[in-house]
Amino acid sequence: MDSIWSRIGAMLSSLPSRSLSGFSAVIEAIRTTFRGDPELRKRVGFSVAMIALSAKMARADGVVTQDEVRAFHDIFEVPDGEMRNVQRLYQLAQQDTAGFEAYATQLAGLCGSGDENCLLLEDILDGLFFIAEADGHVHEREIAYLQRIAEIFRIDEVHFKRVLARHAQASDWDPYAVLDLAPDAAFEQVRKRYRSLVAENHPDRLIARGMPADLIAIATSRLAAINAAYEAIERSRVLA
């Protein structure tokens, strides 16, 4: 069975060179090429969203660090023969004069926005945070960029803060925010919420809702943050 990356490569190869002067042509190609397979279109849309918006984020921050490049490759476990297609899309997005807001709007249309497929769009946001924090700090410009992405994706403030909490620096880290709970929540409520989040964010569940299996690093990072938050709360309650 062809991988998601070989399907993206075949799609790019089918486009006339003149069609690739702007990234919008790629997004429209996804819409038409995979019209008959909504699930495959979601997976392709997710992958392309991660590539395009991370490229635009690098421009917003003004610098691409080697740590961010490594994080990008940690997420995209792409066969060597297909990496050129990822690089081609990344460079095209960086060079395109269109703003990231136009991309985000078009990509939300592929993946769904608001209540429909909202969790898949949150997965994209989480992946962008994963890349942003790779150099040890999520910079203010990156947070502003990601908050605007969340607004376009119609991810509400509560969900945005929960994603932000998972990627906060040590001095700002709040385990209750990671689990979206009040600090005075009963421990039974903490345990129930923790179990619900673990089940909801199991890699198989993420793949089922459209995250490509190649991007399992996002799910692993998210589960690690959820586990760490629960363990921190559990320790604090025992010591109290």
User: 207-233 pLDDT, tens per residue?
Assistant: 777 666 656 777 888 889 999 999 999
Q: Could you tell me the residue range of the domain that residue 53 belongs to?
A: 4-171
Across 53-57, 130-134, 195-199, the highest mean pLDDT is recorded for 195-199
Residue 162 lies in a domain: yes
Please provide the DSSP assignment of the chain as one string: ---HHHHHHHHHHHS-GGGGGSHHHHHHHHHHHTTT-HHHHHHHHHHHHHHHHHHHHHHHHT---HHHHHHHHHH----GGGHHHHHHHHHHHHH--S-HHHHHHHHHHHH--TTTTHHHHHHHHHHHHHHHGGGS---HHHHHHHHHHHHHTT--HHHHHHHHHHT--GGG--HHHHTT--TT--HHHHHHHHHHHHHHT-HHHHHHTT--GGGHHHHHHHHHHHHHHHHHHHHHHHH-
For the cut 50, the answer to whether the pLDDT of residue 1 exceeds it is no
Name the average pLDDT for the chain.
81
Residue 214 lies in a domain: no
Residue 55 lies in a domain: yes
Residue 194 lies in a domain: no
Residue 164 lies in a domain: yes
Residue 185 lies in a domain: no
pTM: 0.79
For the cut 90, the answer to whether the pLDDT of residue 234 exceeds it is yes
Query: What pLDDT shows up at residue 210?
Result: 66
- CATH of residue 154: 1.10.3680
Per-residue pLDDT reduced to its tens digit, 79-110: 777 778 888 888 888 777 778 898 888 888 87
Residue 193 lies in a domain: no
Number of domains in the chain: 1
Confidence of residue 131 (pLDDT cuts 50, 70, 90): confident
Per-residue pLDDT reduced to its tens digit, 108-120: 887 655 455 457 7
Residue 208 lies in a domain: no
